[in-house]
Amino acid sequence: MGEATCALPSAHPLTWDRGGGGARRPPDGLISELKLAVPWGHIAAKAWGSHQSPPVLCLHGWLDNANSFDRIIPLLPKDFYYVAMDFGGHGLSSHYSPGFPYDHQNFVSEVRRVAAALKWNRFSLLGHSFGGTVGGMFSCIFPEMVDKLVLLESSPFILESNELENMLTYKRRAIEHMLQVEASEKPSHVVSPEEMLQGFLKNNSHVGDECAKLLLQRGTTQVATGLLLNRDRRITRPEYYFNFISRELFVHSIRKLQARVLLIKATQGYYDVRRENDANMELMLFVTNSLRSILKERFQYVQVPGNHYVHMNQPQHMAGVISSFLLSKERIRAQL
């Protein structure tokens, strides 16, 4: 939506520098860029605060990157160590090895690898959109490791209710797309910064111009003739990679949660993974009612004005409630 704006650091033209000699200053409080070794290369991340403070791992949405949190983290309490990672094949992280497919569970395993590399035994998770579903699954598989789970425009899992007839087709298309890209000898497409920006905005209507530039700073590489996207071309539509689950499995899984959960929904956000059934809020009602019924006072639900990227476009709309949640020692009362 065109009215959404995002203040960028000063001296930032339409070309982007990822840190190799440019004048762009880092976001407020950023202390380091991290590079964590994994078998296929490295996972890149950026950190704010003292590593001696309680850790919060931030997980970005589909095809986004760690810059997704550049505007919200400076508004959150300084009492925590925030690490925003780039999922494999995104941002500055290594692409998966040839023949190794991208899959929801693999992204969940990346969270475990990051926690091991940073020697975290217990931490909180802050996930936007797809990052929230990764954090949700991780929190149920490794419940003893997660203290608090913050879901921004997300759900702990994606339910299969609207997708049963499509699920095998998604798996087929994911495999075919991967094989097609691996067999292709076409070089990556180089475009001008303006073309890159307009293409990004065309595919991301909820992102304002300045926030799009912020994501493209970390999501592109400057070459002599223009910009290249950093992300792995084998990654395509999110529904090809999600693990859709039944309502029964959803309820069984969230019973495993030990974390307190804050779910923040934007009033003009998304309710469907393919954006085709957004008028139908029944699934989200099932999710929130189930979480409230099972977690009781450990669950909090809040609506804020804004769209799917409200954490970037208007971070002040949710910074207060996230801050209170992270700082809370006592169990919190659920909100309608």
Q: Which of 4, 59, 77, 49 is nearest to 266 (CA)?
A: 4
Residue with the two structure tokens 């090895």 = 97
Total Cβ atoms within 10 A of residue 25: 11
CA dist list (Å): 260 to 6, 129, 296: 30, 18, 10
Strand ranges in 164-283 using DSSP code E only, listed in sequence order: 220-223, 226-229, 244-245, 260-268
Which helix (H) or strand (E) segment holds residue 216: the answer is: helix 209-219
Give the span between the Cα atoms of 226 and 56, in whole angstroms. Answer: 35
Give the span between the Cα atoms of 100 and 114, in whole angstroms. Answer: 19
Q: Calculate Rg over the CA atoms of the chain.
A: 19
Ramachandran angles phi, psi of 82, nearest 5°: -95, 125
**Catalytic residue ranges:** 129
CA dist list (Å): 212 to 68, 217, 306: 10, 9, 16
Q: Is 199 helix (H, G, I), strand (E, B) or coil?
A: helix
Give the span between the Cα atoms of 75 and 240, in whole angstroms. Answer: 34
Per-residue b or e along 29-45, where b marks 16 or more CB atoms closer than 10 Å to that residue's CB: ebeeebebebeeebbbb
Q: What is the DSSP letter of 129?
A: T
8 A C-beta contact, residue 266 and residue 230:
no
Total Cβ atoms within 10 A of residue 325: 20
